[in-house]
A and B are shown apart, each in its own frame.
Chain A
Amino acid sequence: MAEYITRRVLQALLVLTVMTLLVFFGVNVIGNPVYIFASSECDQACLTAIIKDLGLDQPIWRQYLTFVGNMLQGDMGKSFTHGVPALHLIFERLPATLELAFAALVLALVIGLPMGVYAGLRPEGIGAKLIMSFSMVAFSLPVFWIGIIMILTFSVQLGWMPSVGRGDTVDLGFVETSLLTLDGLHHLAMPAFTLSLIMMAMVIRLARAGMREVMFTDYIKFARANGVTERRVLGVHALKNILIPIVTVLGMEFGGVIAFAVVIESIFSWPGVGKMLIDAIAVLDRPLIVAYLICVVFMFVTLNLLVDILYSLLDPRIRLGGGRA
């Protein structure tokens, strides 16, 4: 077990290193930020000063080492456009994105699980067919397009839902949230639902497949043969078996959801890190871009690592086996 965890941690560190290399070198080869800072009257001396100031006169590997060194101390450079530390900006915006992603996760489970379970219990019924079509559509249609149609329908035509921003937020001291005000929830509903669609489709499929498999197992028959109530057979004995793969997949997907929030935040003008990334790309704010990408990759790799370890702890069947197949 300890060996498995160590191996998994080392693997995660390797992936992180490779990704920082890729992101750093990649991003530092495009564009030339000097011109963003230099006014038109700036002469050669002035240019050199800016280059030196930004550390761009150093060889690139040197820049990388400096970059990694600084990063380990929590410094990812100053945003070119905002003039404040990039990490600072990210942490300022991150709660909005996490809130959105978290709400999407909850929606995917709360809506998707019952739908999938139902479809798995009555696979031949018309309800199951409808649910599976919904899952296919939610999975294959571009999410941004669904978001646009929702805005057109519920905001522009019907005027029921706001389509821009977070609405009223409550300051909890350490973080602001729109989860605690009606207006905030009202604003959150459409973007969170749109973002949840892909996960929801996945939950539906996994729950349906899991249910169909589990209902034919001996242990479900045995539980029924012991007179255990149908509610408990379904709600505990069956559900607990299908929940493990679902939670695993959701955990693995969460990083992807945060990346996907870029799309949703652009459509609904949600003031999170994703929207900030798109703005930063438009003005070639390299430190901010790099900081965003590294943060998301870091979150993603860490989450995967945690899910893997948790999974091996949670599922009693593989706990002794050490690792998944």
Chain B
Amino acid sequence: MTAVLELRGLQTSFVTPAATIHALRDLSLTVQRGEILGLVGESGSGKSLTGFSINRLISPPGRVTEGEVRLHGQNILALSEPEMRGLRGRKIAMISQDPMMTLNPVLRIGTQIRDALLAHEKLDKAEVRRRAIAALDEVGIPAPEDRLSAYPHQLSGGMRQRVAIAIALLHQPDLIIADEPTTALDVTIQGQILALVQRLCRDRGTALIWISHDLAVVAGLADRVAVMYAGRIVEEGPVDDILDAPAHPYTQGLIASVPVPGQRGGRLQQIPGRMPLLTDLPPGCAFAPRCPRATEACATMPALTPVNSTRAVRCVHPLIKGAEA
């Protein structure tokens, strides 16, 4: 069975007359049907950019300069723009970070749902209405008929995110990219949204890429996790294995900085230093300036190397025996 999504050696760059910045490099990933992949990393590591590279919505001067994005085995980077539009929302859907910003402030909820429906299906007015109500109902929005004529600002943040999720689910896509959809919400609502998305994806076998800078969120949700640092994947594998025994020093640092529930007052170990700017990357491993295990050997870029049949790590001195690059 082919994977729903396969990224191969993806490189995304911002090309201006002044400079070329490679924001994503050598990015390879696989997501199977029904699988939830957590994509974690610090701010600026390239998580959102990965999402937008997949559905080809990077704003210029950015563009994908190398590699392939395979959807069910087909390289969609080779598609024409109209063909690509036909996939967006139908095969690949997105939910993004800020529910205040993802819905158009001057269009009614009903109009926005209708536009998303009519983008891929020919429906008459009554059908549009029925489908819209059903979609809102499914994500647990009370009195959906009344919401159709509402404007986004009349809904709470949680409700808006539910609307965005309803829109993403309209066409039963094969893949949903959720870019930190709960960060802007308060904790109880975060939990509800998380549970909702998880249930809907499990029920339908939808593959899900869940982007987050919070390892704790991903831990409870994802099947597998990919850790990004400065535009590259540094470790990838089943979420439990990685949490139990991280192979990359950066992953270890991330785990150590996650607050443990119920254990108050314990000092978190933040990773010292900051992620380097993309314009100012050290040669070799980008984590080297902050890495406690760094040696001279780290000045050449290690490849993403399999640790076992399910895991891979990009490190010269990994924390797990038998995985030396």
Contact = CB atoms under 8 A, between A and B. Distances in A.
B106 A221 contact: no
Interface residues of B, number: 35
A315 B104 CA distance: 12
A222 B153 contact: no
Contacts of B154: 316, 320
21 contacts: A218-B96, A218-B97, A218-B102, A219-B101, A222-B94, A222-B164, A224-B88, A225-B88, A225-B96, A226-B94, A226-B115, A227-B85, A227-B86, A227-B89, A227-B119, A227-B120, A236-B107, A236-B115, A241-B105, A317-B151, A320-B153
Contact of A228 (B105, B116, B153): B116
Nearest to B164: A222
Contacts of B105: 219, 241, 316-317
B57 A316 contact: no
Nearest to A220: B104
Contacts of A320: 153-154
Residue among A215, A221, A230, A240 with max Cβ neighbours from chain B (10 Å): A221
B159 interface: no
Contact of B106 (A216, A222, A317): A317
A232 interface: yes
Interface string B145-174: 000000101100000000010011010000
Contacts of A84: none
Interface string B172-215: 00000000000000000000000000000000000000000000
Nearest to B151: A316
Question: 5 tightest A-B contacts by CB?
Answer: A227-B89, A226-B89, A316-B151, A218-B101, A227-B119
Nearest to B59: A216
Contacts of B116: 223, 226-228
Given A221-B57, A226-B119, A227-B119, 18 more contacts: A217-B101, A218-B97, A218-B101, A218-B102, A222-B103, A223-B104, A223-B112, A223-B116, A224-B85, A225-B55, A225-B57, A225-B93, A227-B87, A227-B90, A236-B107, A237-B115, A240-B104, A320-B154
Given A226-B115, A227-B116, A317-B105, A221 B96 contact: yes
B174 to A, nearest CB: 14
Interface residues of A, number: 26
B119 A240 contact: no
Nearest to B177: A225
B223 to A, nearest CB: 24
B324 interface: no
Nearest to B91: A227
A39 interface: no
A86 B231 CA distance: 76
